[in-house]
Each structure stands twice: as structure tokens, then as C-alpha cells.
Amino acid sequence: MAEQITDLQGKKILLAVTGSIAAYKAAHLVRLFVKQGAEVQVLMTEAAKAFITPLTLATLSNKPVMSEYANLKNGVWNSHVELGLWADVMLVAPATAKTMSQMANGYADNLIGATYLSARCPVLVAPAMDLDMYQHPSTLNNIKTLKSYGNLFIEAEHGELASGLYGQGRMAEPEHIVDEICRFFAQDKPLKGKHCLVTAGPTYEAIDPVRFIGNHSSGKMGYAITEELLAQGAQVTLVTGPTALSLTHPNLKVVPVTSAQQMFEAADQCFPSTDITVLSAAVADYRPAMVAPEKIKKQGETMTIECEKTTDIAAKLGQQKTSKQFIVGFALETENENANAQSKLERKNFDMIVLNSLKDKGAGFGGDTNKVTFIHKSGQTAAHALKPKTEVAQDIVKQIISYNA
């Protein structure tokens, strides 16, 4: 289903431009906002003026650009409090590493920082910097902090950078930013009011207090799906096994678990009230029948661990499923992929299954890409090329929307 994009007629946008070479794109961005019917007030740091003049942005926005708390020449006070109350949205574009650090740590030593702290409106951030700066742990930590505050990010794009290097760090193109703002203001997000359950990551089945049986799942696919469901207006409960990932959002409840039994209990409790369930976790099929109370000492040339089946979460939820609920399952196969996935879909009462094969280079555990085939209850199939997991998540959620919107 095509995503509905609204225009920006009458919306008040506070555009904060900071000192990056990408500041030159602000002129095109302001022009696009104005053409969409928005009222734009531009704020600039002193550093940004080295890349684009305030006169250019003032002419395009039909408003004087603000850079200081007060204009001493005409005695006008630029109130950061009033600016924060005026806006429907504040957009920081481009957002430099320095600016994001200041925002994350509450610095208010310029008009943009003070206005950010005063803003009662949603804040969107469009980073721009060289790829090594973008991937530096301090930058990533600041982004994580800003997201935890509820700020939304328009991720930097891949391409040639001002340094001559190629990679992620380019500020999103103005057209893409405007599309994101339009989506943000969309009145009816397709999954608004829907309650979703997502399982993600691996499970760890204890052998003794030190060792466990596990797998290589990183949780990236499940987390990407969760983010996309949230972006489309859903309320999501994420039941996650042990991963290095984290996610915060006002409409998200995260339930961390370790074992398959814990994952089953959390999912089973949540399932009756959900409309949509996505079972992307890599759940252990077996667990040790006995867990040693102390660390098992090395002895002998071999060791045998007797295992027993874990609860089949997918089958249990499939048995409970009503006609008003929609379940998406996953199948990671190494042989007879389509036949095995089709069988799993039928046995576990899924509405759709996402098949991927470990034989496909770039697919499966750990990486940032995946190659999947969608198999529907109706028998319809759709194979997709290798894509970043974020794009695969978008494709999965589009399929969900087509059945549930």
C-alpha cells in the first residue's frame, strides 16, 4: 500500500542550521518547505555563516535569520522560549558532531542550544559529517542519548563526502528530508492504534552457571522491524533475547529475556491483546535437560549433554491465533528452502513467512544485510534482492500494512 504523504500547509518549522559544508543545502530545503506551505524560521550558528549567508536564507524564508539572543542594533530580543513554543517541529539540519554533543549534554551557549532545551515540539535531527566522525563511539553515544530523549533522526546518507572519502555521512537530500517531515505530520499513520508483538535476538540455554547453548543471532532484523512498526504508528512490545542493541520510543515496551522459556512466557502474556505479531527471534529448539548447579569441570575426552525440547513459541501462539490477528514467522534454511518454509507456515498457522537461506551470501545472522522471500498463506511468493536489513524491515512492514491497514 502506498504511503500517504501530506503537505505542510500552515506548519511552523524551526530550522537550525549549524556549521557543516552541508549548510549550503539549507537554501534548497527552505525553498521546498515554503513551496509546501510551511512557515520557516531559520536559526544559524556563527560557524554556519561561513558556508551560507543569512541573507540568502532570510530571502527564501521571508523572515530575518536569528543567530543571537539579542540584536543590539535594533534592540530586539530573540526569545528562545518563545521560539520553542512557536514551532510545530524543530529540525536541526545539518547537525554537526559538535551540535549533537551539545544537545545531548544540555549545553545552551548559543541560541540553537537554548531553543532546543526550550522546545516543546518534536525535534528531528539530520546529521552531516565525515564517515569516521559519524561512526566514532562518542558520536554514536550522543545519537543514542538524543534518541532516548525522544528526538527523531533522519539518518545520513551514503555517497562522496567533502573529504573525498565515500561512505555514510552526507546529510540527507532536501527532498528526502521534506518527505520525512511530511510523513511525520501525516494524520493517519497506517498502523496507528495497532498493538504489535516482536520477538528478536537469540536465546541462551544454560548448561551450568558459566556456559550456555546459543546461536549467532544479533537481533538486528527484529530491531529494524520494531523501528519500522513504530515509524508507521504502531505500539510495540519487543521481547528480546540478549543483544548489544537498544531502542527507546514512547510507544515501545521492551521486555528483556534470556531463555526460550522466558521468551515464551513474555510473548504468551502479551499475545492475546496484539493485532500483529512478528516472530523474528532465533529461539533454541533444545535446552539441557539438567542444569548443573556448579561449573562443570573438564574431565574425560568427551562430554554428553542430554537435551529436551523447548516450548515451540510459534506453534503455541499459532494455536491461539484468532481471525483478527496476523502472525509473521521467519524461516532460516540451508536446504529445500521453499518447501520447508511453506511447511512451517502451514504447521504453525502463520499468515506470512519470511524465508532466508544461509546459502545466500550476505544473508542470515550477524550482518547488516539480508536476502528474503515472502511466502503468504494464499500461496503467493515474492523474492527480494539482497538489501540492508533496514530496507528489508520496510518491505516486511509494507506487507503487513497491506493486510492490516
Give one word for 367, left, alpha or beta, with left for phi > 0 and alpha for psi -120 to 50. Answer: beta
Crossing angle between the packed helical segments 26-35 and 54-61, to the nearest 10 degrees:
10
194 assigned binding-site residue: no
33 assigned binding-site residue: no
Would you say 78 and 71 are in contact if contact means Cβ atoms under 8 Å apart?
yes
State the sign of the Cα–Cα–Cα–Cα dihedral 197, 201, 207, 213: positive
377 assigned binding-site residue: no
192 assigned binding-site residue: no
Asked if 78 is an active-site residue, the reply is: no
Catalytic, out of 215, 338, 340, 349: 215
Beta bridge partners of 159: 167
Strands (E), 38-149: 39-44, 70-71, 76-77, 89-95, 123-127
DSSP 205-227: EESSSS-EE-----SHHHHHHHH
Alpha helix locations (H) across 164-248? Answer: 174-185, 220-231
Q: What is the DSSP letter of 272?
A: G
- Say how far apart CA 329 and CA 302 lie, in whole Å: 37
Nearest to 372 by CA among 188, 224, 199, 183: 224
Residue showing cell 572519502 = 165
330 assigned binding-site residue: yes
Which of the residues are catalytic? 215
Binding site for CTP, by residue number, is 285, 295, 330, 344, 348
Binding site, by residue number, is 285, 295, 330, 344, 348
